[in-house]
Amino acid sequence: MVCRRGLGSFFLGLGLFKDVIEVEKGRTESYRAARLKLSGVRLLISPHESPRSKLLAMRLRVDGVSTVGYSGGLLSRLAYTKASPRPMHLPEAIRQLALLENDSELWSASLWRSRLAEFSKAQGAPGGLTVTGELMPVPDWASMQLDLFSELTRTKTVVLAPGSVWATKRWTPDGFAEVGAAMLERGYTIELVGTREERGICESVAARIRSLTAFGKIENRAGEMDLLLTARTIAGARFAVTNDSGAMHIAAMVGTPVVGIFGPTVLDFGYRPWSLNAKVIQPEAILKCRPCGKHGAQKCPIGTHECMTGILATSVLRQLAD
């Protein structure tokens, strides 16, 4: 497994990989070291489309490694021994499985072609949605849920993850606080999670919750845990409420019922929570400015942030029923 620097211990902790090689963006020597460690491997599968990833694949191909990736552009032709178009109409989890359509002795290409064709036909809208815009069920053969924390008993806890790298993807602190206060009054405890940089956001939400109710226990754990412990914390909760962020995908991975809040981004992009226990809240109003970018933005382009301020806590709370 090749991943970005800082994520290696998380992937190793999941127990899915024998070894993990970390690379650091912008450091040529980091990619050179990765190439040396990968010398002698039989096959590289790359679901990434960045020039850096393609250059690494190209150099490994020169070394005699079979390389598989998405087609399109000169670099792809040079980088991959076998390539296929990236099926943008499918959700991302299945887009990546499309790479298995390439002939190989490791899997049945015809099996994966038939599975992808069946899912594509069943879609009512791009991104793994029904005709009415609801999330399609996740097929058993495409499940990403792990049993790593299956020994945990879910406690009466709600995890709130109000952070995001992209500012416009953050639902309002008041919205998270209203949800937190209501769930405290229903007898739940509240845990806030996030990175060290998001601790201030989480503390702001915690303070707002305390101003709304005197009931229950609130704990801000942002910045105190690594990704693996964060995953364990989410796995032990009854519900998680997140933005369109990494925390949403972690909740999907561990099977915790999650409500993901989408504002500047849309489900058509394909990055829905890949879980049977997921709900998505989006603005009810049709906004011409939405989406404003693939990842949102650091600042609302039109200065209103209506895609998030228009989402009410009552819409989220309706999804948090036992």
pLDDT (tens digit per residue) in 284-295: 889 999 999 888
Q: Please name the helix (run of DSSP H) or strand (run of DSSP E) that holds residue 247, with its range, or none.
A: helix 246-254
CA atoms of 122 and 130, how far apart (whole Å): 8
At 39 the pLDDT is: 85
Domains of the chain in sequence order: 2-142 (no CATH), 157-317 (3.40.50.2000)
User: Taking all residues of the chain, what is their mean pLDDT, rounded to a whole number?
Assistant: 93
The C-alpha atoms of residue 202 and residue 81 are separated, in whole angstroms, by 47
pLDDT, mean of residues 209-237: 96
DSSP per-residue string spanning 140-196: GGG-----TTTTPPPPSEEEEE---SSGGGSPPHHHHHHHHHHHHHTT-EEEE---G
**Looking at residue 108, what is its pLDDT?**
86
Q: Give the tens place of pLDDT for each residue, 190-219.
A: 999 999 999 999 999 999 999 999 989 999
Mean pLDDT of 94-121: 87
Going by C-alpha positions, the residue among 224, 234, 69, 223 that lies closest to residue 145 is 234
Give the model confidence (pLDDT) of 17-71 as tens digits.
Answer: 999 999 998 888 999 999 999 988 999 999 999 999 999 999 999 999 999 999 9
> In a 10 Å sphere around its CB, with 0-12 CB exposed, 13-18 middle and 19+ buried, how is residue 95 labelled?
middle
State which of 73-77, 123-127, 172-176 shows the largest mean pLDDT: 172-176
How far apart (Å, rounded) are the C-alpha atoms in residues 131 and 139? Answer: 18
**Spatial distance between the Cα atoms of 62 and 83, rounded to a whole number of angstroms:** 16
Which ranges constitute the DSSP H helices of 255-304? none
pLDDT at 133: 86
pLDDT at 105: 72
- In the prediction, which pLDDT does 294 show? 83
Q: Give the pLDDT score at 82.
A: 93
The pLDDT score that the predictor gives to residue 12 is 94
CB 235 within 8 A of CB 256: yes
- What integer pLDDT is reported at residue 107 of this predicted model? 79
Angle between helices 246-254 and 227-235 (to 10 degrees): 60
Q: How far apart are CA 63 and CA 35, in angstroms?
A: 9
pLDDT mean over 237-241: 98
Q: Is the pLDDT of residue 140 over 90?
A: yes
Amino acid identity, position 4: R
Site of tokens 């390389």: 67
